[in-house]
Amino acid sequence: MVRTLIAAGAVLAFIEFYSLGVWAAAKKAGERRCGLAFIPFYAFYLTGKMTGEFTILTIPVKKYHGFMLVITLLGLGAHLYASWGATGLPAVSSEALWQIMYIVFVLAAGLAYISLLTSSRKFYRRFNIARENLFVLLSVPIVTLPLLYIAASKNPPRPLSEMY
């Protein structure tokens, strides 16, 4: 159970760190109520609102906040189920359950991370960042850092209707 609480805390800390970058980009775009970005999962709503629809591994995502909520709950649910198995199942079964749930957990985390990189790319396009691929590469280790650059850049945001 303690492992699951630590995992949930780490996920919420990561979401808050991402929220910092979304808040900076939303403030630069003149988005109303951008301070709400620090409410967990509201940053993903703002991201979807500011970037429009995008695809993750060829799957269109219309409601980004719903997608991220489902992915997060799937990953934490898998971790919680495996934690329950550690106390409620024999050792052999518990190990097998952890291995299976790690697959689910890693898939959920991978999808979430790919979606963060894809949404970041849409932010770079919206704010006319010249070296978009370089910033996507910088987003790999630290997702929020290039989003903070958007706030410091002189580029005004494009209208959402001009996004491709």
Residue 33 lies in a domain: yes
Residue 54 lies in a domain: yes
Q: Which domain holds residue 7?
A: 2-159
Q: Encode pLDDT of 61-91 as tens digits.
A: 888 889 989 998 998 888 888 888 888 888 8
Domain count, the chain: 1
Higher pLDDT: 138 or 6? It is: 6
Residue 164 lies in a domain: no
Looking at residue 74, what is its pLDDT?
92
Residue 15 lies in a domain: yes
Residue 114 lies in a domain: yes
As to burial, measured by CB atoms within 10 angstroms (0-12 exposed, 13-18 middle, 19+ buried), residue 62 is exposed
Q: Encode pLDDT of 10-19 as tens digits.
A: 888 888 888 8
CA distances from 106 to 54, 99, 162 (A): 22, 11, 35
Residue 58 lies in a domain: yes
